[in-house]
Copies of this chain bind each other. A is one copy, B any other.
């Protein structure tokens, strides 16, 4: 069960901090998350072939299933810098481990922001030397951490959930370059449940697949995407299936938060593909629709342009759909407005009503593509002039 609490509810045994070290401006840009003890850990990362140095180092550290701390900065992603980048990511772990008196292998590094600029290590060093002054187990500390990982996000993001005696807290950042593949943006999750990492890892993977892997802002895949889950075991054992359900809901809520706060976004699109004859068919059709610039702009303008859905369904060459079986359903259950080719032929489509439904902040659309029994849900967003503003002059 999700509780979108404000402020965030801390989880026992985890401390947080966020501060400014002056990497680019005066906003918070450096954060640390530290557990009081070694944790079972699970992590998934971007599938991008040229990942950032922190992803390379993080993959190695997380592979042992044990982590105790996360050190992260925003405003500079430490990507595309070869050996120098790797050395810097390792230094971040070593310095943090020294400050916390733990092993460097138990620290996961993470960086987000501009790609291709070297990390100002003197400033990172300053941040790490301040850990003792800032680290705390309060709502304010969590909020400061959530702010410190933001780039073009307009607000910090966190979600709480519980599962039996255990609590879950997740913090995330997103905003652009979002078309996850096996992972997403940055998302740091903690729990006091007691679960082994061999169970936690496939569980996190499943949760990511139907949450962060079902959203898209702009079809681009970040080089830094990372989702990490730390479990310190302080609340004892939990029912695994209840815990997984809570984890999925938490991830889905965070994923939707990310889309809604995407660059220039004015609308959340919830798209369901139904009637597909395979999961792959539903996935490919869903991605084609949710990523189509022509559909994104039409929804931005609340333009009931059904033809663009026909186009986007038709451009998935591997999975042909018959026009007679293609049906669009706009709106929630009790208000659904249907469009199909038969209704169009007979001039029975209520375009005015569809235009009203498209004008909402959350636009719900179901696309039936046949009589198969595979259904998948996706979350995406409209494409507005705000996206151009955010991205035309990002580094200058």
A383 at the interface (CB under 8 A from B): yes
Would A303 and B394 be within 8 Å (CB), given that A294-B220, A297-B388, A321-B50 are in contact? yes
Q: Which residue of B lies closest to A220 (CB)?
A: B294
Question: Among the listed stretches A129-137, A157-165, A240-248, A338-346, which one makes contact with chain B, having 4 or more residues with CB under 8 Å of it?
Answer: A338-346
Question: Among the listed stretches A61-69, A73-81, A229-237, which one makes contact with chain B, having 4 or more residues with CB under 8 Å of it?
Answer: A73-81
Q: Which residue of B lies closest to A305 (CB)?
A: B395
Across the interface, do A220 and B293 meet the contact criterion of CB distance under 8 Å?
A: yes
Measured in the bound complex, the distance between the Cα atoms of B396 and A316 in whole Å is 27
Across the interface, do B49 and A320 meet the contact criterion of CB distance under 8 Å?
A: yes
Write the nearest CB–CB distance from A41 to chain B, whole angstroms. 25
Write the nearest CB–CB distance from A146 to chain B, whole angstroms. 24
Indicate how many identical chains form the complex: 2
Measured in the bound complex, the distance between the Cα atoms of B294 and A48 in whole Å is 15
A147 at the interface (CB under 8 A from B): no
CB-contacts of A80-118 with B (<8 A): 80-84, 114-118
Across the interface, do B82 and A323 meet the contact criterion of CB distance under 8 Å?
A: yes
Q: In the complex, how many residues of chain A place their beta carbon closer than 8 angstroms to a beta carbon of chain B?
A: 73
Write the nearest CB–CB distance from A211 to chain B, whole angstroms. 20
A177 at the interface (CB under 8 A from B): yes
- CB contact between A306 and one of B80, B300, B310 (< 8 Å): that residue: B80
A391 at the interface (CB under 8 A from B): yes
Measured in the bound complex, the distance between the Cα atoms of B223 and A298 in whole Å is 17
- CB contact between A50 and one of B48, B310, B355, B384 (< 8 Å): that residue: B310
Across the interface, do A310 and B80 meet the contact criterion of CB distance under 8 Å?
A: yes
A375 at the interface (CB under 8 A from B): no
Across the interface, do A300 and B388 meet the contact criterion of CB distance under 8 Å?
A: yes
Across the interface, do B223 and A310 meet the contact criterion of CB distance under 8 Å?
A: yes
Measured in the bound complex, the distance between the Cα atoms of B47 and A320 in whole Å is 11
A311 at the interface (CB under 8 A from B): yes
- CB contact between A394 and one of B291, B305, B383, B384 (< 8 Å): that residue: B305
A58 at the interface (CB under 8 A from B): no
- The residues of B that contact A313 with a CB separation of less than 8 Å are 49-50
Measured in the bound complex, the distance between the Cα atoms of B47 and A323 in whole Å is 15
- The residues of B that contact A219 with a CB separation of less than 8 Å are 219, 291-293
- The residues of B that contact A306 with a CB separation of less than 8 Å are 80, 115-116
Would A344 and B118 be within 8 Å (CB), given that A49-B321, A303-B396, A388-B297 are in contact? yes
- The residues of B that contact A51 with a CB separation of less than 8 Å are 314
Across the interface, do B344 and A221 meet the contact criterion of CB distance under 8 Å?
A: no
A72 at the interface (CB under 8 A from B): no
Write the nearest CB–CB distance from A287 to chain B, whole angstroms. 11
Proximity bits, A311-336, B CB within 8 Å = 1, else 0? 11111110111011010000000000
Measured in the bound complex, the distance between the Cα atoms of B115 and A313 in whole Å is 13
Would A77 and B307 be within 8 Å (CB), given that A294-B220, A314-B51, A388-B300 are in contact? yes
Measured in the bound complex, the distance between the Cα atoms of B317 and A181 in whole Å is 10
Q: What are 25 A-B contacts with C-beta separation under 8 Å?
A: A49-B316, A50-B310, A80-B344, A81-B341, A81-B344, A81-B345, A82-B324, A82-B341, A83-B345, A115-B305, A115-B306, A116-B344, A181-B315, A181-B317, A218-B293, A219-B292, A219-B293, A221-B314, A222-B311, A223-B307, A293-B293, A293-B387, A300-B392, A301-B394, A303-B396
4 closest Cβ contacts across the A-B interface? A115-B307, A301-B392, A50-B314, A116-B307
